[in-house]
Amino acid sequence: MEATKKTILIVDDEREILLTLREFLEMEGYRVLIAENGFDALKILNQGEIPNLILLDMKMPIMNGWAFALEFLNRHDHISPIVVITAAGDAEQRARDIGAIGWVEKPFDLNQLLKKIEMYSRKPPAPTLPISL
């Protein structure tokens, strides 16, 4: 029997990133869900889809990463760890601000990203941290 695939939710408004990451991670054996903003990601979660890891962009239209993280943590606590993916120079601080377990800076090498995903998806959820918006 095949082991259950880990599920990753990618939340990013850049369609090319979503599609490239989905294809790459599916080839690596992951089940991938995608959303173009935080609001759509919450809809996925509200349908009972709970991923093993969330890759979250911070600057998006409709609902940005900060607003998504606040809603996600209020509704689901730390059921899924969050990793921030951003082109901003202060990626580490953005990750800390929302209680994420890590960050990846854009542009990223797919193989390096995969190593981080494997590392982060094994970690237990982070302790509850205050969120500043």
* The model scores a pTM over 0.75: yes
3-state helix, strand, coil in the chain (%, to 5): 40, 15, 40
Per-domain boundaries in the chain: 7-122
pLDDT tens-digit map of 78-126 = 678 999 998 877 878 888 888 888 888 888 889 888 988 888 876 444 4
Examine residue 81 and say whether the peptide bond preceding it is cis (omega within 30 degrees of 0).
no
Q: Are 25 and 8 contacting, i.e. CB atoms less than 8 angstroms apart?
A: yes
* Domain 7-122 CATH (choose: 3.90.1150.10, 3.40.50.720, 3.40.50.2300, 3.40.50.80): 3.40.50.2300
